[in-house]
Amino acid sequence: MGGRSDPGEFTFNRLNHRYGDAETRDFNAFFNAGTDLTADIEFYTFGSYGSRQGESAGFYRRAIDARNRNFSASTTTFVPFYPSGFLPLITSDIEDYSIAAGVRGQLGEWNWDLSHVYGHNSFDFGVANSFNTSFGAASKTQFDAGGLRFGQNVTNFDVQRPIAVSFLRELSLAAGAEYRHENFDIVAGEEQSFAAGPFASLGAPAGAQVFPGFRPANEVNAKRDSYAGYAGSMPTSSRT
């Protein structure tokens, strides 16, 4: 301009959009073990742990985008919050783990198995390099947007035995029961991730841009219990 170069041309990053899959970093671990408690009873256990951090992007907001306006600097002229615009990011933190333990063995002609499994998953959302326009200069640039939780407990007991039948090689009898408890939660994010600030009355959009957080009204803490049982028989093979 006026024969002079814009100094912003030397600092502006033109790689300002992202396409395709999110960037992720993963860690997973597993174990499996067991030991004999007596000649007829075995203890066993297995489980896993997984962690994943992810990051993806929304659409780039240019410097003159209305969503980038810093109302607190001026309510009459346009002043950008990010002088060169910004690319809002959605971050995620996922944790998943489960563990099973049980004992199994033989009592007379019966084979039996008693086990319990616990599993848990959490999915936390975050927003980075963003802006809640309705808060103006008081806005944070990183937000905890809340998350989801799920947990499950399952207890099983099974028995089985073979029975000799004249016209069959063998008949297998089996029976069992299961109890399951489940819990699901939605956790609200921090206030600025969803709230309307003082400049909302001037038309400034509310909430963290690209992913507004869960509100307290969205929170859920739901539980349920399930019971099941079965019994049956199956021929293993016919005599020839």
* pLDDT value of residue 108: 87
Taking 50 as the pLDDT cut, the residues of the chain under it are 1, 238-240
Q: How far is CA 8 from CA 14, 84, 85, 163, in A?
A: 11, 8, 12, 85
Residue 70's closest CA among 57, 86, 56, 58? 86
- Look at residue 236 in the predicted model and tell me its pLDDT: 64
Q: What is the pLDDT of residues 175-202, one digit of tens each?
A: 999 999 999 999 999 999 999 999 999 9
Dihedral Cα 121, 122, 123, 125, nearest 10 deg: 180
Give the DSSP per-residue string, 186-235. EE---GGGT---TTGGGTPPPS-TTSPPPPGGG-EEEEEEEEEEEEEEEE
Predicted model pTM: 0.82
Tell me what pLDDT residue 166 has: 67
How far is 78 from 136, CA to CA, in rounded Å? 12
Residue with tokens 């992810």: 54
Non-local (6+) Cβ contacts of 42 within 8 A are: 34, 35, 36, 103, 104, 105
Q: What is the pLDDT of residues 39-75, one digit of tens each?
A: 999 999 999 999 999 999 999 999 999 999 999 888 7
- The structural domains of the chain, with segments of one domain joined by +, span 7-238
Check: CB of residue 218 under 8 Å from CB of residue 188.
yes
Here the tokens at position 30 are 């597993």
Q: Do residues 187 and 149 make contact, with C-beta atoms less than 8 angstroms apart?
A: yes
d(CA 91, CA 124): 8
Spatial distance between the Cα atoms of 140 and 194, rounded to a whole number of angstroms: 12
